[in-house]
C-alpha cells in the first residue's frame, strides 16, 4: 500500500498553537510572580520571627527571667562594673566589740603539771572569743488594769485611760506582734497562712490567718500621714523616676505605676493611660525632669522636661546591631551614649556642673553622625508602619535633647531609669512567692505599706523599725527636703 504523505499544519493552526503557548507562558509568569511574592512574604515573616526569638534582656525590655532558654549575648559596656565586691569598697567583717553584753569566764579545773586546783586569782592572761546570738523568742502576756479611783475631797470617781497601743477588746495582740506580721507579709513576701505558722513556731503566739490578714489594713491607716507627705515631696522633686508594669488582681490584669526618687517611693494601681499615671497624684503638677522609657503616655506633661532611659535605648541599639550586622551606626551611637555616661560620672565625681566641652564634642559628633548614616540606610517607606530601625532612629533624632539631657546636667539627671525598675521588682517577687492579690483594696493597702517601707529604708531605717514605729505611735515621717 503506498505511503500517505504527512499533512503540514495550516497557518491558522500554527497561529492558534502560538497563542495557546503564549497564554501558558503568561499564566506561568503570573504564577511565578505570585510565588515570588509569597516567598518574599514568608522570608520577611521568618526574619521577623527570628528577630523576636533572638530578643532577650540584653537587647530588649524583656526581664532577665525570660532568658531561661536563650543565652543572652554580651551586653554593651554601659559601665565597667563587675560582679562582687568593688575595688575600694569598705569591708564588712565581724569585728569584736569592746564592751560585750555578757562575759563568761572559763578556767582550767586543775594544773596540767601537778594537778593542783586553779582559781581566777591564778590567771595570768586570757584569750577572747565573742559569739553573737539572739535569745529565744517567746510570747509574754501583759495584763493592763485600768483602776477607778475615788477622790477623798469631792468624792468623784475617775478611771484610768488605756495606752493607745492596747486594743479595746479584753484580749489582743500587742504592737510587737502586729509589726512582725506586717513586716513578714509586705517586706518578706510571706503568704498569710505561712506567716501565721511562722509566728506560732517562733514566738508561740497562735495567731489565725484571718488576724494576720487584717493587720495590713490597720498598718495602712497608721501610715497615712507619712504617705501623703511622700506624695507631696515627690511632686516637688527636681528629678522623678516613673515606670509601669502589669500585675493581677484576681483574674483581672491591672497596671502598676511607680514614682520615686533616690529618697522616696510611691506605688499605686491604675490603667495604662494618662488617667492611670495620674492616679498617683503626682504627675499632673510635676515640673521637674521626668526619667522614663519611651512610652508615649509620659509625653503628655508639657510642664515637665524629660530624660529617656539610656538602658532602654542601649538595648534597642543592640537589637538593631543584631538585625543589621553589616551596619555600624548602632554600635557607633551606642558607643557615644556609653562614653557620654562615663564622662558624666567623672564630672559628677569631680564636682563639675558639666562635661568638659572638648570631651563632650567628640561623643556628640559621633552620636549625630551615626544618626545621619542610619537614616540614610533606612529611608521612610510608604505607609504609616516603618521598620524598627527607622522608628528608633527617628525617635533619637526627634528627641535628641531628651536623650542627652543627662550629659547636659551630669550632677543630677541620671542616665537610666533603674531606680524605678528596682522599685517595681518587689511587686513581681510578691506575686511569684505569695500569688496575686484577690481584691483591689488589698493590693492598694499592700502597695501603700511597701511605699512607706521603701522610703524609710532609703533614709537608713530598717523595714522592721519603720513598721514598728507606726504601730507604737512614733510614725516615721520623711524629712521635708527636695532632692533628686
> Which of 170 and 441 is assigned the larger pLDDT?
441
pLDDT tens sequence across 65-93: 565 555 555 554 545 567 777 777 776 67
pLDDT at 138 over 60: yes
Query: Residue 5's pLDDT is what?
Result: 61
- Please give the grid coordinates belonging to residue 97: 566589740
Task: Provide mean pLDDT across the span 198-212.
Answer: 92
Q: Does the residue 267 lie in any domain?
A: yes
Clarify whether residues 363 and 438 are in a common domain: no
Q: 7 lies in a domain?
A: no
DSSP 151: -
Domain limits for position 283: 222-307+417-471
Convert the pLDDT of each residue in 356-405 to its tens digit: 999 999 999 999 999 999 999 999 988 888 999 999 999 999 999 999 99
Residues 329 and 362 in one domain: yes
Same domain, 265 and 235: yes
Same domain, 424 and 299: yes
**Residue 202 belongs to some domain of the structure:** no
Three cell numbers written together for 447: 502597695
Query: Which grid cell sits at 378?
Result: 533606612
**β 252-260/239-249 pair status:** antiparallel
Please check whether residues 254 and 265 belong to one and the same domain: yes
Averaged confidence pLDDT in the chain = 87
Same domain, 314 and 398: yes
Residues 253 and 324 in one domain: no
Residue 244 and residue 265 share a domain: yes
Backbone torsions φ then ψ of 150, nearest 5 degrees: -100, 130
How many domains does the chain divide into?
A: 2
Question: Residue 270: is its pLDDT beyond 60?
Answer: yes
391 lies in some domain: yes
Kindly tell me if the per-residue pLDDT of 139 is higher than 90: no
Is the same domain home to 248 and 314? no
Work out the average pLDDT over 260-276: 88
Q: Are residues 435 and 375 in the same domain?
A: no
Q: Look up the pTM and report it.
A: 0.77
271 with 245, same domain: the answer is yes
Q: Could you tell me if residue 366 is inside a domain?
A: yes
Residue 182 lies in a domain: no
Neighbours of 17 (CB within 10 A): 11
Residue 466 maps to which CATH number?
3.30.420
Amino acid at each position: 500500500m503506498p505511503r500517505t504523505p504527512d499533512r503540514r499544519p495550516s497557518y491558522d493552526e500554527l497561529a492558534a498553537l502560538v497563542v495557546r503557548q503564549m497564554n501558558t507562558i503568561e499564566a506561568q509568569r503570573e504564577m511565578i510572580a505570585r510565588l515570588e511574592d509569597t516567598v518574599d512574604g514568608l522570608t520577611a515573616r521568618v526574619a521577623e520571627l527570628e528577630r523576636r526569638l533572638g530578643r532577650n534582656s540584653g537587647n530588649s525590655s524583656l526581664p532577665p527571667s525570660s532568658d531561661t532558654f536563650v543565652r543572652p549575648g554580651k551586653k554593651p559596656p554601659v559601665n565597667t562594673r563587675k560582679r562582687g565586691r568593688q575595688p575600694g569598697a569598705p569591708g564588712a567583717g565581724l569585728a569584736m566589740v569592746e564592751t560585750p553584753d555578757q562575759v563568761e569566764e572559763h578556767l582550767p579545773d586543775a594544773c596540767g603539771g601537778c594537778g593542783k586546783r586553779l582559781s581566777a586569782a591564778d590567771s595570768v592572761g586570757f584569750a577572747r572569743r565573742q559569739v553573737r546570738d539572739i535569745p529565744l523568742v517567746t510570747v509574754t502576756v501583759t495584763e493592763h488594769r485600768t483602776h477607778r479611783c475615788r477622790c477623798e475631797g469631792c468624792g468623784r470617781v475617775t478611771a484610768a485611760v488605756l495606752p493607745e497601743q492596747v486594743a479595746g477588746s479584753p484580749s489582743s495582740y500587742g504592737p510587737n506582734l502586729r509589726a512582725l506580721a506586717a513586716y513578714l507579709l509586705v517586706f518578706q513576701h510571706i503568704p498569710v497562712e505561712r506567716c501565721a505558722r511562722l509566728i506560732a513556731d517562733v514566738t508561740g503566739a497562735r495567731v489565725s490567718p484571718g488576724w494576720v490578714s487584717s493587720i495590713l489594713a490597720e498598718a495602712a491607716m497608721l501610715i497615712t500621714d507619712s504617705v501623703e507627705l511622700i506624695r507631696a515631696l515627690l511632686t516637688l522633686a527636681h528629678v522623678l523616676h516613673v515606670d509601669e508594669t502589669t500585675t493581677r488582681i484576681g483574674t483581672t490584669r491591672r497596671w502598676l505605676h511607680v514614682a520615686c526618687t533616690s529618697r522616696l517611693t510611691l506605688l499605686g494601681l491604675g490603667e495604662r493611660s494618662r488617667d492611670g499615671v495620674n492616679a498617683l497624684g503626682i504627675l499632673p503638677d510635676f515640673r521637674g525632669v521626668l526619667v522614663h522609657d519611651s512610652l508615649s503616655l509620659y509625653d503628655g506633661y508639657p510642664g515637665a522636661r524629660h530624660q529617656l532611659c539610656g538602658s532602654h535605648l542601649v538595648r534597642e541599639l543592640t537589637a538593631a546591631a543584631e538585625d543589621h550586622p553589616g551596619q555600624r551606626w548602632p554600635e557607633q551611637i551606642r558607643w557615644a551614649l556609653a562614653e557620654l555616661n562615663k564622662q558624666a560620672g567623672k564630672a559628677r565625681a569631680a564636682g563639675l556642673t558639666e562635661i568638659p566641652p572638648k570631651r563632650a564634642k567628640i561623643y556628640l559628633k559621633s552620636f549625630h553622625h551615626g544618626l545621619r548614616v542610619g537614616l540614610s540606610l533606612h529611608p521612610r517607606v510608604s505607609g504609616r508602619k516603618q521598620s524598627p530601625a527607622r522608628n528608633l532612629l527617628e525617635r533619637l533624632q526627634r528627641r535628641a535633647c531628651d536623650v542627652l539631657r543627662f550629659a547636659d546636667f551630669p550632677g543630677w539627671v541620671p542616665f537610666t531609669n533603674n531606680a524605678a525598675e528596682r522599685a517595681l521588682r518587689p511587686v513581681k517577687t510578691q506575686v511569684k512567692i505569695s500569688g496575686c492579690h484577690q481584691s483591689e483594696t488589698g493590693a492598694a493597702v499592700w502597695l501603700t505599706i511597701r511605699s512607706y517601707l521603701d522610703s524609710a529604708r532609703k533614709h537608713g531605717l530598717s523595714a522592721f523599725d519603720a513598721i514598728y514605729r507606726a504601730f507604737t505611735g512614733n510614725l516615721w515621717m520623711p524629712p521635708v527636703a527636695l532632692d533628686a
